[in-house]
Amino acid sequence: MTQTLGAGETIQPMLRKYYPKKELHILNYGIGSTSIFTLPDMLTKGVIRGSETLMPILSKDFDVILIESFGNNPIPQGLEKNNEILDQSIKLIKEKKPNAKIVFVATIAPNRDRYAENIVNLTTEERRKWADERISFIKNHIKYARDHKIPLIDLYNKSLENYADYINTSDFIHPSNAGLIFMGEEIANYLVSRRILSP
């Protein structure tokens, strides 16, 4: 979900309105079809995305790190293992980058009746089960953020009424153009309104 935002093309212009004198660099480490198991490697080892080599995030100098829910790629080991990996990752960030601000992002609500349509042949009941499993991981991300007092950009609850507009009809998983704009605006507005980024 995060990879579709590109290398700042969606968020950066929105942030420039609020920070016209600040030089902003956005590094997008999103990789489609990967689970939370990739997060520690993204932080410490670096990863390959297509023909691109992404250096370890913790080797970079950054002010803010956004961690999306990975909810559309749930792990079979369940929520307890998911939270163990979050614990490990948050500890790594705090140890290596104690001044960096950590922000969680809960992604757009899935379409329960049409999830993965045109990609996987499922009955409506099976689609709902798939979507419900993903929703449980997204909601868990929200709960984890609240339990650990981590700032949260809650796209999930904000999209519940309009999720159909925000999901691409080619696969009923990824964001549509309207969804990308929604995500970009919500992320930018949150960073500004909560003063996550200093002027």
pLDDT tens-digit series, residues 97-139: 999 999 999 999 999 999 999 999 999 999 999 999 999 999 9
Which tokens is 76 given?
Answer: 């079979």
pTM: 0.94
pLDDT of 13: 82
Average pLDDT, the chain: 93
What distance, in Å, lies between the first and last C-alpha atoms of the chain?
28
The tens digit of pLDDT for each residue in 67-89 reads 999 999 999 999 999 999 999 99
Burial (Cβ within 10 Å: 0-12, 13-18, ≥19) of residue 198: exposed
**Residue of higher predicted confidence among 21 and 167:** 167
For residue 152, which phi and psi values (nearest 5 degrees)? Answer: -130, 125
Which tokens is 172 given?
Answer: 């009923």
